[in-house]
Amino acid sequence: MKRKTFLSGLLEYGGLVLVLVLLVSVFSLATDHFLQWQRLQIIANQMPVPIMVAVGMTFVLIIGGIDLSVGSLVALSSAMFGLVITNWGGNVWMAVPLCILVGTLCGLINGTISVAFRIPAFIVTLGMLELARGATKVATDSRSIYLGKTVEGLDAPLPWLGLSPAILLALATVIIGQLVLTRTVFGRYCIAIGTNEETVRMSGVSTKPYRIAVFAGSGFLCALAGWAYVAKHQTVDPNAATGIELAAIAACVIGGTSLMGGRGNVVCTFIGVVIISVLQSGLAQMGVPDAGKQMITGLVIIVAALIDVIRIRLTGGKTQ
């Protein structure tokens, strides 16, 4: 049993790390200055938003759901942040709570409607995607709002690392998310719900609060991502984070999270985000056009899904 667990862990983490090392090696040989601390700093400081969104998406996928509204919630949360500062005479410390409240409330609405009325999360979050994006455009009058000195310094790199506070916060969400998933009753029930929800119900446990909490948590992390977006760009953009839901799902799939529920790992999702970020940065430095980057990234996702199927069979599991 221990040997089987060790083999599973080796394939789960070691395979992803190997892919990452190979990517870095290829781009280091194919381009100049890729493997330099300054370049790695740039890549790292671009990852807070996708990391936070992907952590929340991991939990949503584990329970067998999906959240298509994450990009719009990032944009709406950041818009609320900007409105407090520019139109309502507030400061950063007033803006952050409202930003978090809006994202969490939208996630709570997603979960409550999906659970209470038994509507597939795909439909509910698709509706929220449009609703939140439209609300963002109304709030910003469909224009970018430059915040400038008001938020200057929020994303200032730490002098001894060159990394922004946002990436450190994102790493903290990875650690906390992994601990919640693997070391708490909540995490174990999330996995059980995704594996066989009916069995959980028959054991006398209501699955509704867990499902609602997962979507609320996803909204909360989207709000944190909205803050990180504003801190980095010093701008509120009504089109912020468009399409990030696909990138988040891709990172989860690369990290081995099952789209059918019941299996996932926050740390592996984080490595998936790093792989995608390194891949896109390396291709950009090589001069590959956007269309080429999309094709190559899509191919990597398909290969990752195939590798995941092979991994499950090698470790004696079953594909969904």
Percent of the chain with pLDDT over 90: 70
- pLDDT 10s digits, 57-116: 999 999 999 999 999 999 999 999 999 988 877 788 889 999 999 999 999 999 999 999
User: What confidence score (pLDDT) does residue 297 get?
Assistant: 80
289 three-class SS? coil
Q: Which two tokens stand for residue 120?
A: 């597939």
Residue 67 near residue 124, CB atoms below 8 Å: no
H helical segments located in the chain: 2-9, 15-30, 37-45, 48-62, 70-86, 92-116, 121-140, 165-183, 185-202, 208-233, 244-254, 266-285, 290-314
Local confidence band at 298 (pLDDT 50, 70, 90 cut-offs): confident
Residue 320: the pLDDT is 43
Return d(Cα 231, Cα 233) in angstroms, integer: 6
What is the model's pLDDT at position 86? 87
How would residue 315 be classed by pLDDT, with cut points 50, 70 and 90?
low
List pLDDT tens digits, range 201-212.
999 999 999 999
Boundaries of every domain in the chain: 36-241+258-263
Alpha-carbon distance 81 to 95, whole Å?
5
pLDDT at position 148, please? 79
- Between these two residues, 150 and 187, which has the higher pLDDT value? 187
For residue 207, which phi and psi values (nearest 5 degrees)? -85, -15
Q: What is the pLDDT of residue 271?
A: 95
Would you give the DSSP letter of residue 153?
T
Tokens of 10: 């080796």
For residues 82 and 74, what is the distance between their CA atoms, to the nearest angstrom? 12
CA atoms within 13 A on the CB side of 153: 3
Per-residue pLDDT, 1: 46
Of 7-16, 150-159, 243-252, 281-290, minimum mean pLDDT range: 7-16
Which residues are CB-contacts of 299 (< 8 A; sequence separation ≥ 6)? none
Q: Is the pLDDT of residue 318 over 50?
A: no
Per-residue pLDDT reduced to its tens digit, 219-252: 999 999 999 999 999 999 999 999 999 999 999 9
Q: Using 50, 70 and 90 to split pLDDT, how confident is the model at 10?
A: low
pTM over 0.85: yes
